[in-house]
Amino acid sequence: MSNKEAFFDHINEGYACKGEYLTLGAGMLEEETITNALVNIPLKTLNRHGLIAGATGTGKTKTLQVLAENMSEKGIPVLLMDVKGDLSGLAQASTGHPKIDERHEKIGIPFDAKKFPIEILTISEQDGVRLRATVSEFGPVLLSRILDLTETQAGIVAIIFKYCDDNQLPLLDLKDFKKLLQFITNEGKEEIQEEYGRISSSSTGAILRKIVEIEQQGGELFFGERSFEVDDLTRIDENGRGVISVLRLTDIQDKPKLFSTFMLQLLAEVYETFPEQGDSGRPELIIFIDEAHLVFDEASKALLSQIESIVKLIRSKGIGLYFVTQNPKDVPEDVLAQLGMKVQHALRAFTAKDRKALKLASENYPDSEYYKTEEVLTQLGIGEALVSVLNEKGIPTPLVRTMLRAPMSRMDILTEKEIQEVLDNSKLIKKYNDTVDRESAYELLNDKIKRINKEKERDVEERKSTRRSSSSSRKSTRMNPIVKVLTSATFIRSVFGILKKVI
């Protein structure tokens, strides 16, 4: 048997699937693509996460596009982060190219130009379905992180959340939060100190300044209502294809904190919302995070361990996370160890530092009798990658140099007009794009402050009249202001809304 025949059998055995699967491309020996030596990924192990790495311009984003298309075709919904704006092309069919035909001929699968059902989401000023979360959904830990607070300041944020929980004050947007900061340093100072300890006004002042900063970065756009229901990420279109939600992030690259915190909040929300999944043999949702280093850069230890545990646990809910980044080293080791699928595009070896990174990267891959990993890594052409996935039994498949198939949709951005078309056909825009500002902590505290001030006035009045009449029954049975707030009908209505969300 020739080396080529042996290789063909090696790949066909290694990548055989009994259940449903998708095809990524064909194996290569030396520089030659071995037609029909197909590299398949079982749908069953897609929830075991993955990594797409490689130097700039080597084909990472196109691999993401290919994976998203094939998942959608199999009825799997996808959420992807479009950091460079080049993924919206999914909504239009490819116009084809002789090079693409040549590529597919070598691989042994026909090329079909197709468009896919997409929904455009946004967290910034760009058009799209608005993804929002309330401040209380964010929670004190992530809010402190997004604001870049010191430990002491984070402690104050935790107290504010506790106070709002205890007093059932809905924290919806940044306006609510600012009002609380103002309240605890002024009218509410005594009440807070009694129950939660002293709070320095210089710390609250610092927190306030940070909030103003985040507002200037456009942060108030994604705090508030109507908050996004993650179930809307798992839609299937009328032809049985998974809807691809494209989150536009082109204007967010210089705001890594905003982006990463938002990502984490979304992951936490997805994790909490989705039920445990039995063995359905296919994932519920696949999330691709392009430019993933933005998530991990500057993350605190506590936060990293939070990410690690989400990555570990979320797969039992049928959710697969795929990180796309230039260097695998951008991803923390404990997360890297959780990633079942690896697609490594070419790496460069210009400098000593590059060569060290290359050595490290090659150590992440299983040995192969057909390749010297370290060498192949620098020789890979554009749209080629070293691939290893998990087979149906959950065991790593043999490492294979792969000629990847081309995207069926456009490998470029949509025009403004085409984007408008997608938005016009959106099923979610009407649901999410009107700002709601229902009664929340801001209004409730305003009422409360008014009441406190009135009571103070009344106290002064009473004291005056008491002096006059020299009566001793000054303390009245007046209702405690908090109890008053709690029993007001409008409050109960608005709390009910948020409780439904929180519980």
Ligand X SMILES: Nc1ncnc2c1ncn2[C@@H]1O[C@H](COP(=O)(O)OP(=O)(O)OP(=O)(O)O)[C@@H](O)[C@H]1O
> Which spans of this chain sit near ligand X (rule: CB under 6 A)?
54, 56-62, 66, 84, 382-383, 404, 406, 411
Q: How far is the CB of 66 from Mg ion (least distance, A)?
A: 13
Report the nearest approach of Mg ion to the CB of residue 59 (Å): 8
Stretch that binds Mg ion, among 52-60, 92-100, 156-164, 379-387 (CB under 5 A): 52-60
Residue 105 burial (CB count, 10 A):
13
> Which does residue 130 bind out of Mg ion, ligand X, none, counting CB within 5 to 8 angstroms by kind?
none
Q: Binding Mg ion by CB under 5 A: which of 61, 185, 234, 373?
A: 61
Q: How far, in Å, CA of 255 to CA of 263, rounded? A: 13
Least separation in angstroms between CB 71 and ligand X:
16
> Which of Mg ion, ligand X, none does 59 bind, CB closer than 5 to 8 A by kind?
ligand X
Shortest Cβ 407–ligand X spacing (Å): 7
- Per CB under 5 A, 185 contacts Mg ion: no
Task: Determine the 3-state secondary structure of 53 from DSSP.
Answer: strand
In this complex, which beta carbon is closest to ligand X, that of residue 65 or of residue 203?
Answer: 65
Q: Is 464 exposed, middle or buried (0-12, 13-18, 19+ CB in 10 A)?
A: exposed
- Residue 234 sits in the site that holds Mg ion (CB under 5 A): no
Nearer to Mg ion, 49 or 60 (CB): 60
CA–CA–CA angle 17, 20, 25 (5° rounding): 65
Nearer to ligand X, 141 or 406 (CB): 406
Return the number of the residue (61 or 440) whose C-beta is nearest Mg ion. 61
Q: Would you say 47 or 58 has its CB closer to ligand X? A: 58
Residues 171, 189: Cα–Cα separation, whole Å: 19
- Closest residue to Mg ion, judged by C-beta, is 61
Burial class (CB in 10 A: 0-12, 13-18, 19+), 457: exposed
- By CB under 5 A, tell whether 65 contacts Mg ion: no
Q: How far is CA 102 from CA 35, 96, 97, 119, 288, in A?
A: 12, 11, 9, 32, 28
Span of 55-63, 349-357, 376-384, 451-459 interacting with Mg ion by CB under 5 A: 55-63
Half-sphere exposure of 342 (CA within 13 A, CB side): 28
- Site size toward Mg ion (CB under 5 A) is 2
How does DSSP assign 119-183, residue by residue? EEEESSSSSSEE--B-HHHHHHHHHHHHHT--HHHHHHHHHHHHHHHHTT----SHHHHHHHHHH
Binder of residue 62, out of Mg ion, ligand X, none (CB less than 5 to 8 A by kind)? ligand X
Could you tell me if 66 and 404 are in contact, meaning their C-beta atoms sit under 8 angstroms apart?
yes
Q: How far is the CB of 417 from Mg ion (least distance, A)?
A: 24
Considering CB distances under 5 to 8 angstroms, the limit depending on partner class, which of Mg ion, ligand X, none binds residue 382?
Answer: ligand X
Q: Cβ 412 to ligand X, closest distance in Å?
A: 8
Q: Which is nearer to ligand X, 58 or 144 (by Cβ)?
A: 58
Q: CA 495, CA 417: separation in Å to the nearest integer? A: 42
Query: Rounded to whole angstroms, how far apart are CA atoms 336 and 173?
Result: 35
Residues forming contacts to Mg ion in the complex (CB under 5 A) are 60-61
